[in-house]
Structure 1
Amino acid sequence: MGLLLMVVFISCEKKNNSTTQLEINKRTTGTDENRYYDSLFSWYKKKDYARLGKEIKEPAEESKEKTAVLNLYKGYVYLHQSRFDSAQVFFNKALQGLNTKPLQREMYYGLKGAAESVSKMGKFDAAINLQYKALDFLEKSALTDKKRLYYSTIGNLGINFFLNQDYNKSELYGDKALAYFAKVKDSLNLAYFESAKAVMLFQDDKFEASVQLAKHSLELRKKLKDISGQAESNNNIAIAYMGLKNWDLALEYLYTSEKLFLSGGNNKEVPITIMHNIAHCLKEKNNIDGAIAKYELAYKIAQSKKMQNESRISLQQLSKLERIKGNYKEALVYYMKYSKTKDTLFNIQKEKAIQDVSTKYETKQKEEKIKLLQKDKQLAQNQRWMYVVTILFLIITGSIAVAYFVFRSRKNQELFLVDKKLHESEIERLKIEMELKRKALDNFTDKLLTKSEIINELEQKLNSFNVDHDDAIHSRNIGELSKMKILTEEDWFLFKEYFDKVYPGFIPHIRKKHNNLTPGELRMLLLIKLNLDSFEVASILGISAESVKKGRYRLKKKLELIDEDLNAHIQSLSF
């Protein structure tokens, strides 16, 4: 549907000033140190992070346990301030010293905080792993409130599966949490996971159902006087109305959400996702200047917090909006920044994919080696047993010899089968590796084509744009665009690197066999080898279709082809 989905999930924690609520999971021993830990926990439960920060005092004596507890609450203070990288550092430090029985409560909240911080940074796989660890820990713990904590973790696990685009698991875990909190009539958690469920309904294009569930969540949160929760519910109602293309109602709820955040929710700071949603609605209502102002503010904040994905979205939308206004120079500036950010994210995703394949292959190799070692060990034990039997039963030496021969034959067959499996595994690895190299070459070629098309479009727009007072700057911009269109030396170096991986030895043999080819003719030959048509070759090399036609004629002549088709001949070349 082309809608830019921006969702906000606010961490759900009970906020209640009653003594009963704050005594959940308190320790039975009443030492000064334990009372201090309980005091820190109470400020955390009240969400009074300013007081919590003041209460954190460095220990007078070196204590691994106390340092770990203090690092835990430092992590939550930074998490509340949206300083997610700092929060993650302190949570990781805390987890290293919280693995003792007296600190079970802190250990759980350490895993919970670490999962939330990495999730906020878009590392959803890491968040899911930490939440699974929290579930395992709860099952073995003696915490008095562990059932509520268990289903709360189940629900948050569903949210991270949703953010990681695993919608089946997201629905499974989310519905489990909803059913439990509805059964025990826990309004706070019920409102939180209803709001999350509303977003999942939005994902399935069930906009009316999403609106109703998000509104019910909002009513519960109003009764609980949960300001940050109300802000989240208002945003989720808004995105449902965005799905229905009711931009006025969507803006009404978004402005309410913005006002609530500024009045006290989430450190009195509006999440970037809210700004993106407001800007999107303004754009749909043709308020281009208002949308640009919101996206510029969102980009500034995202940069300061090192939030790459949010920065990328802001730059992409700013480039599009400036093009709508006819400000092609500004559009080009934003697009170039967006392109750099996009390349960084692409490299991260590519490295992750390669790492996943490598990990799977290494795991498979290790499993095969373990099996082989186990079989070798079993074989050695059987051999020793056979030697003993031979000595004890000399009378039946012949029978034992036959039995031993049969046994060895079977073991050799098993070893042969294991070796065969290892060989097949190696072949499979090589296939996967070649496929990755081929995809990398195709992706790089596609990027070159896309780059040329976009720059060509912007160049045409700039050429048609009247710049009476700034001819020098205009000419320089056109010159820079022209340089970007062609296959640069850096592009050529990367292209050859990818090409050599897919067709090893092809370039050296071509140069040796046809040493009269110019660099330009060699590049054209390699692009034809990739089965690109003349238009695509012209786009990548930054030349006209007529120049490609002449180049093909010279190439055919140097390859000494008379009647044979040039493309068919190059495709048939292999060394």
Structure 2
Amino acid sequence: MELVSDKDSLMQMTEQQLKQASKKEEKELAIIQKVLLAGLYSRELDRFNDKSTSLYETAVNRVTDIENKALQIWAFTKAGFYFYSYNQYGEALPYFFKSSQALEFISDNELIQGSEVLKLNAYFFSTIAEYDKSIAYLHRALKLTSTESKSYGDLLNALGNCYLSKRDTVAAETYFEQTKQSAEKNKDVIRYAKALGDLARVEISRKNWQKAEELLWKDIALSVNNGDNRNTMFAQLQLGKLYWEKGDIEQAYTTLTTAKQYAASKTYLKGFEKESVELLLQIVVQQKDTTEELLLRRELDSLNVLTETENREAIDKIVLKFQKEMVQWELEAEQAKLEKASLLRWTWTMVSILLLVVVVLIYISYRRRLRLRMTEFDKKILSFQYEKIQSEQKLRTANNSLASFYTFLEEKNQQISLLEKEIQKINGKKQTITLKELLLSHLMTDENWELFKQAFIEEEPEYYKKLRSNFPELTESNLRIILLQKTGLSNSETSHILGVTTEAVKKAKQRLRKKYGVKQDILGFEQFLN
């Protein structure tokens, strides 16, 4: 829509797009239409006008009600630059202040006409002597602009002017030379002419009058040939200053008079007209031309009133206002940060307290479960101990018969199996030791062995006698395995009672078979050695 050059085409194009737009898009299109229409009126009338002012103000009021940061920046910038173009710096300031704030919180790629928006903001801030801010915007704009574009030269030129204002003539000259090269590459004759004029300003600051004069005459020639009256006027004004500085009064008067005539034809060039009149007044005062002096003083008084908004004092007031607003904004931003930090600290404190409460509750719950497990464990230990006592009590009351021993050994095996399972479940070192101690207490003691052996001899005297006579070399360990298995215990049950592994019992039996060979079948010896 920016390419539309007349109001009718703009309205027609907008109507077509509105037919397909959502409600949100309708609002945005209406704002864009008003901004573009305001710009068309401004270019058509070539002056500050009520129609454009009203359209810009309506667009800005509406754009603040929608959540589209890029559109807000674009509308603020366009409205601000309208006021700026006609030297209404005080009115332009609020718009550029808002756009500059918003530009801190959006990436350049999200901007609408990013290069143009950044460039216009840079122009304004360089006018109010915020050169560093202007330079930053111009560098951002360069990254969004093709070197094949004429706008690239505009940005380089603006950078040169910022550095010249900062009295950095070396940097200024570098950017003006780059501007000249870009303009030549893109066949932008007027930008090339302006670059020559700006290089002349650098030479004037160095008092290289001849070189500066040559550059300005080239600037004027190109501007005249291409019909750019404004740039011609500006170059003539610079040339008039140069002649005045070097003492060529006649040339200065002629050149400044020509520049003044064009500046007087445009209401928004009164500042340049005033500058021309001030220089001409100095010339006629030196020449003691009282009649011309009186006329120029009257003209200057009139221009002082007309240029009240664009003189240095007015701009200084705007700069001061901007700086105050910036300080206020930074204070508000800092306050918002502090409030956010305070809220964050409060949140972390509450979260920490909640976490602490959760940890305490988990710990209490854990301790409670631990106590319950310990209670259960103690109950099991008591149960195992009680069963052990009962089993031993039964053996004592049963007169130590083989049958009672067999029952006793079966119960022992059951209790040992249960204890081994509990040991596998338990993780606590103290509890494991307690269970193992209890398990060891269930193993056959020397006393129990003697009682068992005595009972076996009494009930199986013949078998025991033949066993000892045929195998006198049998050790007590051998006898324990043979006699226990003779009563019917399995390898596993035997290992439990003796406190050894099942594999140890099997190996002991293998050694007996190997040692006694065919003799092992005596009295059924083989049946429990297999």
Return the TM-score normalized by structure 2.
Answer: 0.47
Greater share of residues in helix: 2
Larger radius of gyration: 2
Return the TM-score normalized by structure 1.
Answer: 0.44
